Amino acid sequence: MSHIIVLGGGPAGYVAASHAAAHGARVTLVDPKPLGGTCLNQGCVPTKVLVESCGLLEKIKRAESFGLQFSGSVAGDWAAINRRSASIIEMLGQGIERLMEDREVTLLRGYGEFVDAHCVRVNDQVLRADHILICTGSTPQADPQFNIDGATIGTSDDLLAWENLPRSMLIVGSGIIACEFAFVLDSLGVDVTVLASGPRLMSHADKDISSVLQREMRKRGIKVQLNCRIQSLTHTSEGVSAYADDKIVGAAERALVAVGRCANTAGIGLEAAGIRTNEWREICVDDVLRTNVPHIYAAGDVNGRSGLAHAASAQAKLAIDHMLRREFSLLDDGAIPVAVFTNPEIGWVGRTEHGAVGDGLSVEIGKFDLRGLGRAHALDEISGMAKVVVDKHSGELIGLHVIGPHASEIVHEGALVIQRNGKANELFRTVHAHPTISEGILEAVEDAIGQATHKPMNRQRSANALQLI
């Protein structure tokens, strides 16, 4: 029986432990903190609790638009929302622990550190294993110029632990974490200013999606400053000031620094095991998540391939399958969907238009404005769009991008097609239920292949794109 040591109990680590034990391995899971990692305890889950509370709050405020009479005031209660979040985290964490017990996984509370390539020290024990999987995750990037103290200037971890919210907030960053918190804080009455270093928000998203997101932020009164590279954050008597180009570009009671995350590779003895890292101290791995030391693997944020919890879990399963010499399929990072819980939501998978064109691909683009959908009007959420990127020569769907209600859920039909190198006509020939938001994807595909139903037809595109059907 193979003995596998797993370092870290987040969405990579605990999934790896469960998967390995289910297939006959003896597993030791090492983590000093509650199981579930950042995702469960300071990331995905608590932030989504915030998002849902804020979404309901906003819907109640719009009750009259649904034909409902609502008397009395309604407001967000930060402490009560956090109590609900803590309850959900505790319940899910206990579920993971029961799963480990059921799988007979040995759980050691402590930090694991390599003694050599085969042995790991945990507290006062030295353990030897046939294979070792590193799943130590990541932490928020905390560059010294930001003067993070956790109280006035903090990371996302700090913000979730705050007992109250300020009247105003600077958010340094423009990625997923920054944008999600911008909407949450705005819903709870905080005056928000987003300071983005680049020319647009969400630089990894399709440019059209970024444009809609920025428009929606500004419609709500969230201030957005682009091309604003912050030199420093400074504590003042009134809170925080942000400096760029030697001048103040923003001031607020507090600041959230959301400029990325760093792999947790310090202090785990990588040098003792001879494990290579890149310039960002992320562990270098091959297609099966194996490091340069053949029996040691790394999955999740620690290898830098993806910062997504679901990608971490998928990587963990692949690594375990390879260790145990089970049948496996390599992961296509380009077919892993991304979900962003802004308001409106964003979901995308595959190539962006500018990325595909930049790589020399010839593409057809299809778009559909979600305000053309009956379901969007019923939800009173008409802002958004669906967009598809289709390879003009092969007809393959290579990108799907949605911003609008339920985008995080409906993006998966695109992921299913893209991961099997499927063609756009698979979606074209799939009947979509009415009235749904998913119809927007069908409409975008129809537009790409010149068969638009509910928008003016581009006859030139129709003539060129018939071959894609």
Is residue 440 within 8 A of residue 402, CB to CB? The reply is: yes
The H or E element containing residue 427 is helix 425-428
Report the C-alpha dihedral over residues 186, 183, 209, 260, rounded to 10 degrees.
120
Alpha-carbon distance of 144 to 121, in angstroms, equals: 31
- Whether 131 and 4 have beta carbons less than 8 Å apart is answered as yes
Q: Show the beta-strand stretches assigned E in 8-111.
A: 26-30, 106-108
Q: Please, which residues bridge with residue 428 across strands?
A: none
CA distance 395 to 26: 47
SS3 (DSSP) at 67: coil
Q: Are 396 and 362 in contact (CB under 8 A)?
A: no
Of 255, 226, 225, whose CA–CA distance to 239 is shortest?
A: 255
**204: annotated active-site residue:** no
Closest CA to 32 of 263, 262, 264: 264
Sheet containing strand 296-298, strands side by side: 106-108, 26-30, 3-7, 131-134, 296-298
User: 3-state DSSP call for residue 103?
Assistant: coil
Which residues make Cβ contacts (< 8 Å) with residue 80, sequence separation at least 6? none
> Which long-range CB contacts under 8 A does 425-428 form with residues at least 24 apart?
425/395, 425/449, 425/468, 425/469, 426/397, 427/388, 427/397, 428/469
SS3 of 264, please? coil
Contact 192, 270 (CB under 8 A): no
Distance CA(309)–CA(65), nearest Å, equals 37
The catalytically annotated residue of 3, 19, 434, 454 is 434
Amino acid at 12: A
Give the Cα separation of 92 and 254 in Å (integer). Answer: 31
Could you give the residue numbers annotated as active site? Answer: 434
